[in-house]
Amino acid sequence: MASSLFFYFLAVVTTVGAIAVVAFPSPLYSVLALILTFLGLAGLYLSLHAQFVAIVQVIIYASAIMMLFLFVVMLINLGREEKRELRLPGQKLLGAIAGLAVFSMLLKVFLSTSLMTGKKGSFPPERVSELGNTQIIGNLLLTDYVLPFQAMGVLLFVGIVGAVVLARRRSR
């Protein structure tokens, strides 16, 4: 009971944060709302016994990356979002109707099924709490998951090079 209450609380926090990100007209507030979402996610990871991921989420996402976001937003001095004329009349209304239609379909799908309990994997919660999260993740990353781990490294490298390519000043 307590854990499901915890879950609903976190779910609401995460969702409200996510909606606030797009709803705030000022980018600064959006970034702050995103921190709320990330903290909610960290809480959800905690409730799933993934303490390491939760802590990393807080340290890296909610702190380091969001700090950079704030820096960037303040540095380029983004103003409030400008109101723009939409090209198609009634675009907002149509969008809302389509969104609601998808949402109601989703709701129907998820309400019509009972969730199933899957098979247990090789690292159920009991084993995890016995061995420790960090050790298992470190072990897996460098043994079975070494290819995704390396591919992820390349992906991050691509992000860095790409950002430099797009942002740097060119002498011509």
**Binding residues vs other proteins (CB under 8 A):** 106, 109-110, 112-113, 116, 118-119, 121, 131, 135-136, 139, 143-148, 151-152, 154-155, 157-159, 161-162, 164-166, 170-172
Of residues 80 and 127, the one with the C-beta less far from other proteins: 127
CA angle 86, 17, 98 (to 5 degrees): 40
Sign of the CA dihedral with 70 first, then 71, 73, and 79 last: positive
Of residues 99 and 162, the one with the C-beta less far from other proteins: 162
User: At closest approach, how far in Å is the CB of 149 from other proteins?
Assistant: 10
User: At closest approach, how far in Å is the CB of 115 from other proteins?
Assistant: 8
Q: Which residues contact 11 (CB under 8 A, 6 or more apart)?
A: 40, 44
User: At closest approach, how far in Å is the CB of 172 from other proteins?
Assistant: 7
Of residues 99 and 159, the one with the C-beta less far from other proteins: 159
Of residues 59 and 131, the one with the C-beta less far from other proteins: 131
**Cα Rg, the chain, nearest whole Å:** 21
User: At closest approach, how far in Å is the CB of 148 from other proteins?
Assistant: 5
22, burial (CB in 10 Å: exposed 0-12, middle 13-18, buried 19+)? exposed
